[in-house]
Structure 1
Amino acid sequence: MSALPLSSARRPEGLVARVAIFVSSWPHGAIQRLMLNLAEEFAAAGHRIDLLAPRGSAPAEGLPANMHLVTLAPRLSALPGVGRHKRWFVPVALPALVRYLRRARPAALLSGGEWPNVVALAARRLAGSPTRVVVSEHVHVGASTAGAAQRKPRRLLPGLMARLYPGADAIVAVSEGVRQDLLERFPLPPSQVHTVYNPVITSALLAARDAPLDDPWFVPGAPPVLLNVAQLRVQKDQATLLRAFAMVKKRRPARLLILGEGNQRPALEALTQELDIAADVRLAGFVSNPLAYMRRARLFVLSSRYEGFGNVLAEALVCGCPIVSTDCPSGPSEILEHGNYGRLTPVGDANALAAAILAAMEEPVELAGLEQRGLEFSAAAAARHYLHLLIDNPAS
């Protein structure tokens, strides 16, 4: 995907359409943030946008005049069992989505996430609606449904996807790795599945990278900081990162800052004690603006076992932060252009990760080249591709 100006999706002329965007809830979550980025670009192009979800609220900053929140099933929490099992919120909203499609008749419906995708396709079929449906796949299905990830609800997804995904007008994969996985697993023609990188970089994000940062680890003369921004969970494999950092510490001064929260915190804290690196590791939890840290860190390290895309890598690039990442399925190799914009290491290999970190810390930082690569993952660039699939050229 070529680099495009951040304003490229704002077209003063062209078809104005009603476009619905369906996710599990608004406004919080990684997919939700990306879909809001797209929604803002669609709205700026003049289209009317309905933000659909079983439940949710508008972002704190509000919505543009031509963007509306539609809560499909606001009383879901009162249903027996649903409040305790949030994964069922989306399927239970199916009848409400059918009614919306029959009543509102949007020109196009874009869904994000596996459950919203299958429900959107089922709803269009049940509604008998002419609405064009484009679904977006944000995870590597093979990796995310393997082993421990095979919880009962997720076991249902591959079968539902195989049955319903062929009925989509188009399928967006957020990386070529995700696209190839979909084509291998499901009966889909290659022409139906399109790779569109995530709409990560926005004007607001660019402004956030230069926000002031009051943190004693980033004062002049302090040891260099390695940064990881991810939820603390098995998929992100910070345990391998901690083991690699322990090896780095034996060779040179450094600190490791991990931003994010999750169920692996107790195990990771115990591992820092076991490795005798607790004094130089900080599990800082969630922060509202990780870009300010990316702008100042010596190195960004991604240790994931799998990704769909790897949004944080695009963010680190546009902040001019050098990167070391596992070559996991899928996304990092594509974002880093197979190693041209950062080092790639095998998944779960602490020795290789430590060696790559040490080598990267010896190299000079080429700020401009990294930033330019990061700008290629702009929301405006992605929005142009999505609008083409949704409304501009329905026959393609």
Structure 2
Amino acid sequence: MLNLANSLAQRGYRVDLVVAQAEGPYLSMVDTEVTLIDLSASRVAWALLPLRRYLREQCPDTMLSALSHANLIAIFARKLANVPTKLAISERSALPERPAGIKGRAMRFLMKQFYPEADNIICVSEGIERELRGYLAGSDEKILTIHNPVDFDLIDAQRNASVPHHWLQSRKHLIILTAGRLVKAKDFATLLKAFAMIHKSCEAKLIVMGQGPEETNLRALASKLGVSHEVDFVGFQDNPFAWMAQCDLFVLSSIREGFPNALIQAMACGARVVSTDCRTGPDEILESGRWGMLAPVGDATVLSEVMLASLSESNPPNTRSRAKDFKSDKIIDRYESVLLKAVCRKEK
């Protein structure tokens, strides 16, 4: 969303980036031409009335929301505000096969009831589009796929920077990198188990880039597996691209995804990549293994074998050429066509 907001502002549109609460490491990356609107809501659900007020006061030509909870709030806020704002919602995750608990079932019910009220339903992968077409009866004409954009200019400006990490500076070992929020859905536990198997046969190190509630459990697992000294949890990094450009292999181990940005970014940095074949995203990006090997979800043994095979490839695929299919300009053109044609007025 940040990339999209910045790109549209650079094309001359007036862009408001409306957030429930203005916090986090990405605030410094908001373009000076983008107006940041802070609704000061500690939870997305509590942003309903502030968002209604914003819509009444500003009456934007079009609004794009992302993620299921925010999408529903945007739909309800537009109804309450009673404004002619065109609304597109973006679904970025595969639908849970079995919604967990009352909240999960309630979310699925609300999505089915209210998603059709949006003017467009944008999916970040063709897999998600197929799922929603089967779930939202009668909304086929509203549902389409627009992949996430990759900012090659930013990546190229940052990927050659030095990384102040002794493993990358010494280059004594093979460096395996993974990145993402440390949550169960990313299944870093399976990656740690696969890495422990690899470490028995080759000198390798694993760098885990990201933060999240599973960090304590993952550190404990690394210790239990006997690889705590070979795994480094480096937290959030302002410039992940330099790390991606210098690793020997980037691994995505997720149980589920929508359209994984980290995988495409690593490819844009020229990294070899391996991914689990989880629902929606990786198979589509890697074109069934053409650009990087795929492994079954949750299978540490096969993942370790695939990782070793990828590291041993003498002529790995040019992942950067595939990543160019998702360059920002191409993706922003599609958003501009779908969201803004005959609706928005460019600044004079």
TM-score, length of structure 2 as denominator length: 0.92
Report the counterpart of residue 198 of structure 1 in structure 2: 148
1:212 is matched with which residue: 142, 158, 162? 162
> In the TM superposition, what whole-angstrom CA distance separates every residue of 1:129-170 from its partner, at most 9, and x where no partner exists?
211101001111225xx46xx365444321111111111111
Match of 1:69 among 36, 48, 66: 36
The structure whose RCO (Cα within 8 Å, separation 6+) is larger is 1
Equivalent in the alignment of 1:48 = 14
- The runs of 4+ residues in structure 1 deviating greater than 6 Å are none
1:34-59 C-alpha deviation (Å, 9 max, x unpaired): x1110111111111111212332693
Q: Check conservation: 1:201, 1:375, Cα contact below 8 A.
A: no
**1:60 aligned counterpart, secondary structure:** helix
Note if 1:335 corresponds to 2:289: no
Q: Which residue of 2 aligns with 1:378?
A: 327
Q: 1:304 to 1:62 in 2, by over 3 A?
A: closer
The one-letter amino acid of 2:187's match is D
Query: What's the Cα RMSD here?
Result: 2.0
Between the aligned partners of 2:232 and 2:35, the Cα distance in structure 1 is 40
Q: Which structure 2 residues correspond to residues 329-368 of structure 1 after superposition, within 5 A?
A: 329-364=279-314, 366=316
- Report deviation, 1:220: 4.8
SS in 2 for 1:283: strand
CA distance in 2, matches of 1:257, 1:59: 25
Asked if the contact 2:6–2:30 (Cα under 8 Å) also holds between the matched residues in 1, the reply is no
Deviation for aligned residue 1:393 = 5.8
Unaligned ranges ≥5, structure 1: 1-34, 77-85
Is residue 281 from structure 1 mapped to residue 231 from structure 2 by the alignment? Answer: yes
Q: Which residue of 1 aligns with 2:346?
A: none
Which segment drifts farther, 379-388 or 313-322?
379-388
Aligned counterpart, 1:127: 81
8 A contact 1:320–1:366 mirrored in 2: no
How does 1:134-173 map onto structure 2 within 5 Å?
A: 134-143=88-97, 146=98, 150=100, 153-173=103-123
Percent identity of paired positions between Structure 1 and Structure 2: 36
Which residue does the alignment assign to 1:109? 63
Contact map agreement 1:142 1:181 (CA 8 A) in 2: no
Q: Whole-Å Cα distance in 2 between the matches of residues 113 and 41 of structure 1?
A: 20
Which letter does structure 2 place at the counterpart of 1:248?
Answer: I
Distance 1:321 1:188, change over 3 A: farther
Q: Whole-Å Cα distance in 2 between the matches of residues 192 and 62 of structure 1?
A: 30
TM-score, reference length from structure 1: 0.81
Q: Which moved more, 1:246-255 or 1:337-346?
A: 246-255
- 210-219 vs 350-359, greater mean Cα deviation: 210-219
Report the count of equivalent residues: 341
Q: Using the TM superposition, give the Cα deviation of residue 190 of structure 1 relative to its aligned residue in structure 2, in angstroms.
A: 2.4
- 36, 50, 55: which is aligned to 1:96? 50
Instruction: Give the secondary structure class of the aligned counterpart of 1:47.
Output: coil
Q: Which runs of 5+ in 2 are unaligned?
A: 344-348
What is the match of residue 124 of structure 2? 174
- Measured in 2, the distance between the counterparts of 1:309 and 1:290 equals 18
Q: 1:233, CA displacement in angstroms? A: 1.6
Instruction: State whether residues 173 and 194 of structure 1, in contact with CA within 8 Å, keep that contact through their aligned partners in structure 2.
Output: yes
Indicate the residue corresponding to 1:59 in structure 2: 27
Task: Flag the 1:181–1:346 CA change in 2: closer, same or farther, 3 A.
Answer: same
SS in 2 for 1:339: coil
1:24 corresponding residue in structure 2: none
Distance 2:137 2:11 in 1: 35
Displacement of 1:286 in angstroms is 1.9
Secondary structure of 2:73's partner? helix
**Deviations, residues 58-117 of structure 1 (Å, cap 9, x unaligned):** 93356434x212233x3x4xxxxxxxxx4xx22222223223223322111111111221
Partner SS for 2:189: helix
